[in-house]
Structure formats: structure tokens, C-alpha cells
Amino acid sequence: MNRELRVLVMSGKPAIVYAPLRHALSSGGKRLRALLVLLASKAVGGNDAVALPAAVAVECLHNFTLIHDDVMDRSPVRRGRPTVHAKWNDAVAVLAGDQLMALGYESLLGGEGRRVQAGKGKPRAGAARILSVYTRAYRHVCEGQGYDLEFEGRRAVTMREYRRMIDLKTARVIAAAAEIGALAGGGSPEEVRALRGYGERLGLAFQIRDDVLDVTGVQKEFGKKIGGDIARGKKTYLLVKAMETARGRDAALLRRVAMGRGARLVGQVRSVYERTGAVDAAAREIGKLTRTAKSGLRSFPGSAGKAILLDFADRLADRTA
């Protein structure tokens, strides 16, 4: 995957577009969504080499969201390195992100002579279907980011609103990665639906875990400043859950956080999250979503691909970065 991404941006010009892309793509990302494309393809009997262009495209989509998200959040660091907008400027970051999406589509459509197709011996999944899933994920992540921005200016959001936001912003892309992998691998309609459901529940758990790590993580491992969501008034699972039960001084503190005035209060906020049971509730929710994601694969026959997907879910639930 890293080799394919290097080839994608190695010699592109002008430098003002491609140097930031080389910077972003060489920063040591986990490639989890791209890996999920390959794992889903393997689980339905597909071929890694055939699914690789689709995996590259999904990784492009993910990194596009990171580059633009860092601009919107004014984040100075990503994966322990300066963000694109911090190293260059906002205009360069917007342009680089847009170019990355174009490269993602090119990979799906057959850049360098490759085309998305089904695994050996299986009916070819229509390229239009895969493009439709990819484009829908692109639209949904933008809508989710819109809700995220909108919620920053609000005193509170409901848990239902929060779930809708993270479903669009995070879960739909992870669901699309699993669905695209199943399609590229020539999966049956039942297998495609099952893997999409697996990916969506995994995506919800992934975002809630991200919310928790923003407060309880170790900055060197997490790759971002701890407490960044608190400083920006992000409506995270912990904040929404804690505001449901907090009273008195705790409630007043959380209202300050909700309006983006909690940058110097990270330690106090962490204590409130623990006192109100929000951290424990998040752990229970992550566990529930992970179990539900895994149960969706019950109908798959035993295979190395299925075993890896089950292990993948557990590893995401327990991740520290």
C-alpha cells in the first residue's frame, strides 16, 4: 500500500500540490481503511492485487478528509508531524486535498492501466457500483463534517444527533471500505450487505474510541494533542454523555467546554467525565458495537479472511493510537 501511494504522488507536478501530498502520505498512517478493503475482499475469496486499486482510492479519500479536517480544526499536528496547512498554508491544503480525491477516482477508474474488477473466477463487480459506493461515502463524510462544524457553535446536542454525525463523518467511510472490498472480491449480495454492516458498526466504535483517546490517550502514541476536542468545543461521546447527568459545578464546567472555552481545563474535564460515568459508558458502547459487528459475520464460513476480520475488530476496540 505504501509503495502504491508513493508511486501515486512521487513525480507529480507542480510541487506546490504534490510536495504536501508526499508529506501527508509519508507520515506513517495506519492504513486501516485500505487494509479493510483488502480484508473484505479476502473474506469473500477475492485477490489482493485486484482489490489494491480500490484500497488506494479509499486511502486517498481518508487522507483527503484529514487534510481538510486539520484546516477546519486549526490542528497544528497530525501523526506527530506538522499538518499540511501548518507547514504550508490553508490554500495549499485545500488544493492538495482536492487533488487527492482526483487521484482516488483515477485509481478506481484505472490509473496506470489498472481497473477495478472482481477476484479470479468470480463475476466482475460493476465499476459503476463501486464508484457509486465511493462517491456516496465522499458525500456523507462532507455532510458529517458539516454537522461537526455546526455543533461546535451549539451549547448542546443530543446523543441521537451525535450518533448521526459520527455515522456520516466516520462510520460510512469505514462501511464503504468493507463494501468496496466485498464488491471488488466478487462477493454475493448477502456477503456485501454483511460486510457493509460490519464496517458501519466498527466505524461507530472507532469514532467513540477516538473521542476517548482525545482525553485519556498518550500524545506520543495518539499523534495529536491530547484535549484538542475539549479546546474546540467538539461534541464528543464523552461530552454529550456527561452533560446528560452532570449537575452543579460539573454541569457549569461542561457548558464552558461546549462553547469552546475549555482549553485550560482538560484535567478537570477528564475528572468530570470519570465521575459522571461517561468514560465507562463509552467503553460499554464500544464493546457492544464491536460484538455486533463481529456477529454480522456469523454466516461466513470459517476462513483465514474471516478470522482476520474478527481480530481486526478487537484490535480497533482496544487501540491506543
CATH of the domain at 79: 1.10.600.10
CB 81 within 8 A of CB 70: no
Cα 116 to Cα 75, 119, 141, 198, distances in angstroms = 35, 10, 23, 22
- Contact, 254 vs 243, CB < 8 A? yes
3-state secondary structure of 82: strand
* Average pLDDT, rounded, for the chain: 91
Is residue 132's pLDDT more than 90? yes
Q: pLDDT grade, residue 314 (50/70/90)?
A: very high
The pLDDT of residue 320 is 81
Phi, psi of 44 (to 5 degrees): -105, 15
Smallest Cα–Cα separation from 260: which of 290, 286, 229, 238? 229
Give 225-243 pLDDT, tens digit per residue: 788 899 888 999 999 999 9
pLDDT band at 84 (very low <50, low <70, confident <90, very high): very high
pLDDT band at 71 (very low <50, low <70, confident <90, very high): very high
Domain count, the chain: 1
> Taking the model in full, what pTM does it have?
0.91
Nearest partner of 99 among 12, 3, 10, 17, judged by Cα: 17
What is the mean predicted confidence (pLDDT) over 98-118? 74
Contact between 177 and 31 (Cβ < 8 Å)? no
pLDDT at 117 over 50: no
Question: Helix, strand or coil for residue 81?
Answer: strand
Q: Number of C-alpha atoms within 13 angstroms, CB side, residue 114?
A: 21
Q: Is the pLDDT of residue 113 over 60?
A: no
Q: Sorting pLDDT into bands at 50, 70 and 90, what band is 118?
A: very low
Residue 28 has pLDDT above 80, yes or no: no
Containing structural domain, residue 303: 2-317
pLDDT band at 221 (very low <50, low <70, confident <90, very high): low
Compute the distance between CA of residue 243 and CA of residue 39 in angstroms, rounded to an integer. Answer: 38
Residues of the chain with pLDDT > 70, as a percent, come to 93
Q: pLDDT higher for 190 or 114?
A: 190
Q: What is the reported pLDDT for 222?
A: 60
Please say whether the beta carbons of 234 and 259 come within 8 A.
no
Alpha-carbon span 149 to 260, nearest angstrom: 12
For residue 77, the 8-state DSSP code is E
pLDDT at 303 over 50: yes
Mean pLDDT of 181-206: 96
Among 49-63, 78-92, 183-197, 223-237, the least confident range: 223-237
What is the reported pLDDT for 220?
60
Residue 39 has pLDDT above 90, yes or no: yes
